[in-house]
Homo-oligomer: A and B are copies of this chain.
Amino acid sequence: MTPVETDGKNRIGLTIADYKGAKSTLCPGCGHDAITGSIIQAAFEAGLEPHRVAKLSGIGCSSKTPAYFLGRSHGFNAVHGRMPSIATGVSVANRTLTLLGVSGDGDTASIGLGQFLHLVRRNVPLLYIVENNGVYGLTKGQFSATADVGSKAKSGRVNELMPIDVCALAIELGCGFVARSFSGDPKQLRPILKAALSHRGTAVVDVISPCVTFNNHEGSTKSYLNVKEHDAPLHDIFFIPSYENIEVDYAPGESREVTLHDGSRITLKKLGEDYDPSDALRALETIHHGRQEDKFVTGLLYVDPDKEPFEQDLRLIKTPLASLPLEKVRPPKEVLDEVMGALMTGKY
């Protein structure tokens, strides 16, 4: 069910090359590069118009990656941990843009935790990807706040603090789209990214992304080996964009379907026990139990397609604020006269 035509062009006539960016300067084998690959593929398949996309990030190896995809789009590499506030401004200033945010676990769960949670609370429309490796890569391997209990650093130090689970927090803050995946599983990651891009509010996707240089050793819980071993997918995920009406039929009870606001659909094919992603408490429970059992539960954890996005609270005019002409935003002379008149009566 990929929308790519035989000539290697997508529905708006662009090739995969049109979605690539500069050459990566990350370490060979870095999980982040794999995610970049999935983002490029997802954006290509979704047929995003590059000029309508704004790429946003904070600081870190992960936050460098927006330079490596969608080279034609505007990009904003903010300061450490503050991408959410930038994103909020961008989204509100031009509601027609598609926002694609990339952050790291340090960027999001340490310095950026407050902004991240307030972004989620406002339900600012964007795809927020956390490239989660449990360490500070760019500063050479200190623990981040998502490091698992008992995980050993290269230095030999062992982390004793509980990991912050960005998915659980996002759900607690009422996020309408929360998923977790693994950089090494593009088959699962791509449909999740495409679905997230179709969601009309904040979509949080936590992608476990091993740091081959500082956190891929024996004893690290976020090494490729360990993640592969403990990856516990909830379901197989397929995404059907609105402009396609493919019918997928599974034996009854074998799968679930979620229809997003733009008409596109997510199909979840059962793996083991049935999982209902519309139940927030169930999702939290699943995450908690997963942690107790040292499992990385991946898949679509929670979805609520109908949550009202931020611009609706603001009752924004349809035209992007950024493109309003002067006459729309400077009231006429009469208004000033009216105000001055009132002030002349001493009514300040």
| A152 nearest CB across to chain B (Å) | 15
The answer to whether B164 touches A168, judged by C-beta atoms less than 8 angstroms apart, is: no
A interface: dominant SS: helix
Cβ of A316 within 8 Å of any chain B Cβ, yes or no, is: no
Contact partner of A169 (CB less than 8 A), chosen from B162, B169, B288, is: B169
Contact partner of A173 (CB less than 8 A), chosen from B164, B173, B174, B281, is: B164
Residues of A100-121 contacting chain B, CB below 8 A = 110-115, 117-118, 121
What residues on B are CB-neighbors of A111 within 8 Å? 114
Cβ of A80 within 8 Å of any chain B Cβ, yes or no, is: no
Contact partner of A288 (CB less than 8 A), chosen from B114, B281, B313, is: B281
Residues of A128-153 contacting chain B, CB below 8 A = 145
Chain A positions 271 through 306: 1 when the CB is less than 8 Å from some CB of chain B, otherwise 0:
000000000110011001000000000000000000
A172 to B281, CA, bound (A): 12
A113-B117, A118-B113, A281-B285 known; A313 vs B161 contact (CB < 8 Å) = yes
What residues on B are CB-neighbors of A118 within 8 Å? 110, 113, 145
| A107 nearest CB across to chain B (Å) | 12
Cβ of A122 within 8 Å of any chain B Cβ, yes or no, is: yes
Residue of B nearest to A159 (CB): B313
A145 to B145, CA, bound (A): 24
Cβ of A262 within 8 Å of any chain B Cβ, yes or no, is: no
Cβ of A254 within 8 Å of any chain B Cβ, yes or no, is: no
| A166 nearest CB across to chain B (Å) | 11
Chain A positions 34 through 55: 1 when the CB is less than 8 Å from some CB of chain B, otherwise 0:
0000000000000000000000
Cβ of A244 within 8 Å of any chain B Cβ, yes or no, is: no
A284-B284, A285-B281 known; A162 vs B168 contact (CB < 8 Å) = no
The answer to whether A164 touches B313, judged by C-beta atoms less than 8 angstroms apart, is: no
A271 to B121, CA, bound (A): 33
| A86 nearest CB across to chain B (Å) | 17
| A92 nearest CB across to chain B (Å) | 14
Residue of B nearest to A280 (CB): B288
Cβ of A160 within 8 Å of any chain B Cβ, yes or no, is: yes
| A312 nearest CB across to chain B (Å) | 9
A168 to B280, CA, bound (A): 13
| A293 nearest CB across to chain B (Å) | 14
The answer to whether A168 touches B160, judged by C-beta atoms less than 8 angstroms apart, is: no
| A144 nearest CB across to chain B (Å) | 12
What residues on B are CB-neighbors of A121 within 8 Å? 145, 161-162, 164
| A170 nearest CB across to chain B (Å) | 11
| A321 nearest CB across to chain B (Å) | 19
Residue of B nearest to A308 (CB): B160
A113-B114, A118-B145 known; A172 vs B173 contact (CB < 8 Å) = no
Across the A-B interface, give the 5 residue pairs with the lowest CB-CB distance, nearest first: A114-B114, A113-B114, A160-B313, A162-B174, A281-B285
Known pairs A121-B164, A172-B172; list 17 more (Cβ under 8 Å). Answer: A110-B118, A113-B113, A113-B117, A118-B145, A121-B162, A122-B161, A160-B313, A161-B313, A162-B173, A164-B173, A165-B172, A169-B172, A172-B284, A280-B288, A281-B284, A281-B288, A284-B284
